[in-house]
C-alpha cells in the first residue's frame, strides 16, 4: 500500500488524497458539479484510514481464509462472501464494529451489514470451515428473487449485497427516500465501491456537448468479438458510438435530430473496482468460455474522462464459474484470493490451498476485484 500524500479539501466538502491509490475517487462527488452537502455520513478522511489499514495483529496477518460449507447450491454466495472478507476497507470497518454500534434496524429487523460483520469476525476466529447459514437463510431479504437451495448468479448476489449494505448505512438517517442524494454519496459503502460514469454526446452540426453522469458500483464488460484481454474489453466499453440513421440524437442547440458522437468513460474511479466479464449470453447453452487475459496491475487511465494518472489498481480476487458444455444454467463457483501477505489462495467451498499466481491467470475469470 502506498503512503498517502497530504490531504486537499475539495469544494464539495469531502476530502481525498492528491496522489494515492484512492486519489482517482476525488471524494465521491457523483452528481454534476460540486454541491454543498447537508450532512456527511462517513467522513472521507476516516475512510482513508480504513483504506490504508494494515493487519499488524498476527491473528489477522497470519490468517488463512476459513472455508465455507456448501449448504446446497450455495457456492455463488460463498465466493462473494470470501471476496468481501478480503476487501480491506470493508473488513477494517466491520472489525472496528462501527456499524453494529450504530445500526438502527438490528433490534427490529434483520440487517445484512450486521450479519456480514458477524460473518467476517467468525471467519477470522475459526480454524474449521463453517456454514454461513444466517446469511443464506435470509437470501430473499438481500435480493427479492434469490432463493435458498437454488443455483444463483454470483455477480447478481454481489450487486444485491452492495445495495443492501448501502441501504443499511442510510437506514439510520431515515432511509434512501429521506436522505438527499449528495448525502447518500458519503456512506462508507459508497466510498468503498462507488464510482461515476460519464456519457458525453457531441452534436456534429453545432458542436454542442452534453454530459450525463451515472453512479456505478461495478463494471460489466462484453467479451465478444476479438476482445481477448481485459484491456480490449475496456476499449470496447469506452469505444466511440455514432448516433445516426434511425438512432439520431435530439440536439437542444439545433432543436433537431442530428448525427452525434457518443462516448462513455469512467469519470471517477472507485477505490474498489469490480469488473464482471459478460460470459452468460442468450441461447441454448448461453456461456462464452473464451480465454480473456487480465493483468495483475491495471491502469484505468486510458478509460477515464479526466485523470491525473494515479488510477492504478492491484488485483486481489478472482471469481471463476466452472461448467460442463458451456452451460450457464448449472455449474460451480470457486474463487482465488490474494492473502494479506501477498500469497494467492484457491478457495473451493470448504477447501482451500495456496497456489502460484500463474494458476490464477490461467483461469477463465468471471469477476475480477481490484483495489
Annotated catalytic residues are 75, 332
Determine the distance from the C-alpha atom of residue 245 to the mean position of all C-alpha atoms in its chain, rounded to a whole number: 36
Q: Phi, psi at residue 122, to the nearest 5°?
A: -65, -40
d(CA 237, CA 216): 14
Residue 323 DSSP SS3 = coil
Spell out the long-range contacts of 8-12 with Cβ–Cβ below 8 A and sequence spacing 24 or more. 10/34, 12/36, 12/37, 12/182
Non-local CB neighbours of 21 within 8 Å, separated by 6+ positions: 1, 2, 51, 271, 310, 312, 314, 371
DSSP-derived secondary structure letter, 173: T
- For residue 367, give the H/E element and its range: strand 365-370
Non-local CB neighbours of 246 within 8 Å, separated by 6+ positions: none
- For residue 365, give the H/E element and its range: strand 365-370
d(CA 61, CA 29): 34
Determine the distance from the C-alpha atom of residue 28 to the mean position of all C-alpha atoms in its chain, rounded to a whole number: 14
Non-local CB neighbours of 26 within 8 Å, separated by 6+ positions: 10, 16, 268
Amino acid at each position: 500500500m502506498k503512503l498517502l500524500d497530504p490531504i486537499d479539501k475539495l469544494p464539495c466538502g469531502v476530502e481525498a488524497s492528491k496522489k494515492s491509490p484512492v486519489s482517482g475517487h476525488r471524494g465521491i462527488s457523483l452528481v454534476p458539479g460540486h454541491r454543498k452537502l447537508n450532512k456527511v455520513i462517513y467522513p472521507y478522511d476516516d475512510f482513508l484510514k480504513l483504506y490504508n489499514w494494515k493487519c499488524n495483529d498476527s491473528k489477522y496477518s497470519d490468517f488463512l481464509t476459513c472455508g465455507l460449507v456448501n449448504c446446497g447450491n450455495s457456492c455463488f454466495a460463498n465466493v462473494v462472501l470470501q471476496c468481501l472478507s478480503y476487501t480491506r476497507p470493508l473488513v477494517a470497518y466491520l472489525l472496528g464494529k462501527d456499524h453494529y454500534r450504530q445500526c438502527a434496524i438490528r433490534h427490529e429487523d434483520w440487517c445484512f451489514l450486521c450479519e456480514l460483520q458477524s460473518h467476517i469476525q467468525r471467519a477470522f476466529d475459526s480454524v474449521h470451515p463453517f456454514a454461513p447459514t444466517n446469511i443464506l437463510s435470509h437470501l430473499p431479504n438481500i435480493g427479492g428473487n434469490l432463493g435458498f437451495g437454488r443455483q444463483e448468479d454470483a455477480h447478481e448476489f454481489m450487486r444485491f449485497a452492495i445495495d443492501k449494505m448501502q441501504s443499511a448505512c442510510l437506514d439510520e438517517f431515515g432511509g434512501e427516500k429521506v436522505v438527499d442524494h449528495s448525502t447518500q454519496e458519503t456512506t462508507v459503502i459508497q466510498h468503498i465501491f462507488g464510482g461515476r460514469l460519464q456519457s458525453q454526446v457531441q452534436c456534429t452540426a453545432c458542436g454542442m456537448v452534453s454530459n450525463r453522469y451515472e453512479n456505478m458500483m461495478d463494471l460489466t464488460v462484453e467479451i465478444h468479438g476479438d476482445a481477448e484481454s481485459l484491456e480490449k474489453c475496456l476499449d470496447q466499453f469506452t469505444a466511440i458510438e455514432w448516433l445516426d440513421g434511425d438512432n439520431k440524437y435530439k440536439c437542444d442547440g439545433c432543436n433537431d435530430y442530428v448525427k452525434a458522437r457518443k462516448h462513455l468513460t469512467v469519470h471517477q474511479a472507485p477505490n474498489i473496482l469490480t469488473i464482471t466479464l459478460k460470459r452468460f449470453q442468450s441461447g441454448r447453452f448461453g456461456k462464452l468460455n473464451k480465454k480473456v487475459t487480465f493483468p495483475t496491475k491495471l491502469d484505468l487511465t486510458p478509460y477515464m474522462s479526466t485523470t491525473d494518472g494515479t488510477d492504478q489498481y492491484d488485483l486481489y480476487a478472482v471469481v471463476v464459474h466452472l461448467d460442463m458444455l458451456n452451460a450457464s444454467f448449472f455449474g460451480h463457483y470457486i474463487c482465488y484470493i490474494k492473502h494479506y501477505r501477498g500469497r494467492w489462495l484457491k478457495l473451493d467451498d470448504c477447501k482451500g490451498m495456496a497456489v502460484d499466481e500463474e494458476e490464477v491467470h490461467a483461469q477463465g475469470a468471471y469477476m475480477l476485484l481490484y483495489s
